[in-house]
Amino acid sequence: MSLLNQQKNQHLFWRAGFGPAAEQLKDIAIATPHQLYKALEKASSKKPRFINVADNYLQGLYMGIEDAGRQQKRKELTADERKMIQKKQRESIRNLNLAWLGEMIKSSAQLREKMAFFWHGHFACRNLNIFYQQQLLDIIRRHALGNFRDMLHEVSKSAAMINFLNNNQNRKDHPNENFAREVMELFTLGRGNYAEHDIKDAARAFTGWGANVQGEFIFRRFQHDAGSKTVLGNTGNLQGDEVLDILLEQKQTAKFITQKVYRFFVNEVPDETKIEWLADRFYQSNYEISKLMEDIFTSDWFYDLKNIGSIIKSPVELLAGIQRILPMEVQNDEALLLLQRLLGQVLFYPPNVAGWPGGKSWIDSSSLVMRMRIPMLINDVDELNINPKDDDDQMMGRNENTPKLKNNGMGKSGRPIQADINWPAYMAYFESIPKEKLQEAITVLLLQTKTGVNPELIRKYMDSSGRENFIKSATFQLMSTPEYQMC
C-alpha cells in the first residue's frame, strides 16, 4: 500500500472520528478509504445508549416532582439545600463531560460521536440543569447521522434550549424574540437571509412553548398568540412547528448547514462549487445527514492534498486523539477538565449561542505552548502548575463552576495526569519495521501536514537506548510539535 493511501486513511480517521485508535492501526495498511468509511458508518448505525450521570439526590428531587404541591415544596428549600443542589448539578455536568469524552475516545461509533460533537457546537447551549443537558446530548447523539429536520424539531422543544433562549418567557402580548432570532441566524438560514418582521412574527408563533421542571415539552395554549402571522412570505395562524418547516423549505438552510459542515470536516477555506453541489443533494434528500457525510467522505476531492492536515484540531479533538492512539487509563481526570479550560473548549460550556468559532481562534501563543506540553504531562516529565485565566466572557460568569487547579494539579504520586499507557497495543504497529525506518514510520503515522519536522531535531531529544524507548520518546517528541496540532 502506498504512503499516500495511508495518509488518506489517517485523514479519514481524523475527520470522520477522533483519530485512529491503536487497535485500528493495522487497518491503515490494508483497507481502502472507501472500505474504511463503510466500516465507520456501520459501527455508528446503532442507537446510542443514554448517558445518565445524575446524582441519586438530584434524581429523587427532580424526577419525583409530580404535582403542584410537591413543586411548591421545592420552592421552599432552604439556602443550604439550594447550595447543595447547585453543587451536585455542577458535579454532574463535570461527570457528563468526562463520560462523553470517554465515548469519543473509546466508542467504535466514531462517526456518530464526531457528528454529535459538531452538532454540540451548532446547537450550542449552556444549562446547569443536568437532566436538561443529558436530554439535549441524547437528542444530538440519536439524530447525529439521521435527519436534520427531525433533530431541529426535537432540539427546539428541548428543555435545555427552551430555557437557554428564554422561550419559557415567550407569551401572548409579550413575545420574547430570542429563540426565533437564533433559530434563523444560527440554526437554519444564517444571518442576512430573513427580515426583522420575520423574527417578530416567528416569535409570536413560538408563544406558549415551554418545558416543565422534569424537562418535558409543554404547550400552554392560553399563552399562544393565535393571530395571523407572516414568516418568509407564508401567512396564517402559524404554529411553532410550522415555522420550523418553513425554515426547512428554504434551500438557504441546506446551504448554510452544508457550509458549516464543509468548514468543520473538509477545509476552513470554502469551495463554493462543491458546497453548492453538496447543498443541492442535501436539500433533495430532505436533509438526510448520513447521505451528506457519505457524499463528502467518499468523494475523491475530500482526499486532495490541500485538505489533508489543513484544520487545527480543537482542544477536545486533540485530547481525544492522543488517548485513542495511546490507549491509557487516566487516574487524575480533573486534569482533563482543566486542560479543556486552559485550551479554550470545555464541553457543555460554549462561549455563547454561536458556539466555538474554531479555526485559528484555537491558537495563540499561550495555548500553543500548552498544547505542546500535553504529551510531556502524560509522560510525567512536566508539571501542570498554572491556573486558567478568569476569562468571564468565555466562562459566562460561571468561573466557580469550572475546573480549578487543586494542589498544583498533581496527584498523590506527584504525577499531573497519572496516565497508565497500554504501550504494547501501540507498539504492535511497528513490529515489522526495521529500526532505521522507525522514525520515518512514526512521523508518517502521527503527522498529517505536508511540511515535515526536521528529523535531526527530533533525533536530538530521542532515547536511543533500546527499540521500545526509541518509539516512546519519538512519539512524545512528535506529539509535542506544532505540526501535530493539525489534522
| Buried b / exposed e along 368-400 (16+ C-beta atoms within 10 A) | eebbebbbbbbbeeeebeeebeeeeebbeeeee
pLDDT tens, residue by residue, 76-113: 778 888 898 899 999 999 999 999 999 999 999 999 99
Contacts of residue 273, Cβ cutoff 8 Å, sequence gap at least 6:
none
Cell (9 digits) for 473: 520518546
Cα 395 to Cα 87, 284, 346, 403: the distances in Å are 17, 40, 9, 11
Q: Where are the beta strands (DSSP E) in 347-450?
A: 419-421
Contacts of residue 33, Cβ cutoff 8 Å, sequence gap at least 6:
5, 8, 9, 12, 297, 298, 303
Name, of 52-61, 249-258, 462-471, the range with top average pLDDT. Answer: 249-258
Q: Is 387 a residue whose pLDDT tops 80?
A: no
pLDDT tens, residue by residue, 116-128: 999 999 999 999 9
Maximum separation of any 2 CA atoms in the chain, in Å: 80
Mean pLDDT of 459-484: 92
Task: Please tell me the distance from the alpha carbon of residue 225 to that of residue 172, in angstroms, as a whole number.
Answer: 5
Given a contact cutoff of 8 angstroms between Cβ atoms, the answer to whether 294 and 252 are in contact is: no
Cell (9 digits) for 265: 470536516
Return the pLDDT at 298.
98
- pLDDT category, 26, cuts 50, 70, 90? confident
Q: What is the dihedral of CA 321, 378, 373, 436, to 10 degrees?
A: -80
Return the pLDDT at 391.
52
For the chain, the domains span: 1-43, 56-249, 315-485
Sign for the CA dihedral angle at 11, 152, 93, 56 comes to negative
Comparing 455 with 240, the larger pLDDT belongs to: 240
Return the pLDDT at 469.
95
Return the pLDDT at 452.
74
Mean pLDDT of 256-269: 98
pLDDT tens, residue by residue, 231-243: 999 999 999 999 9
Helix or strand run (H / E) with residue 166: none
Query: What's the N-to-C CA distance of the chain in angstroms?
Result: 21
Given a contact cutoff of 8 angstroms between Cβ atoms, the answer to whether 311 and 367 are in contact is: no
Q: Is 196 a residue whose pLDDT tops 80?
A: yes
Mean pLDDT of 197-205: 98
Given a contact cutoff of 8 angstroms between Cβ atoms, the answer to whether 225 and 172 are in contact is: yes
Among the listed residues 425, 399, 414, the one whose alpha carbon sits nearest the alpha carbon of residue 335: 414
Given a contact cutoff of 8 angstroms between Cβ atoms, the answer to whether 430 and 442 are in contact is: yes
Percent of the chain scoring above 90 in pLDDT: 78
Beta bridge partners of 235: 230
Chain centroid, CA 188 distance in Å: 19
Mean pLDDT of 314-324: 98
- pLDDT category, 216, cuts 50, 70, 90? very high
Mean pLDDT of 172-178: 95
Instruction: Go through the chain and tell me how many residues it has.
Output: 487
Comparing 457 with 226, the larger pLDDT belongs to: 226
Task: Please tell me the distance from the alpha carbon of residue 158 to that of residue 144, in angstroms, as a whole number.
Answer: 16
Given a contact cutoff of 8 angstroms between Cβ atoms, the answer to whether 425 and 106 are in contact is: no
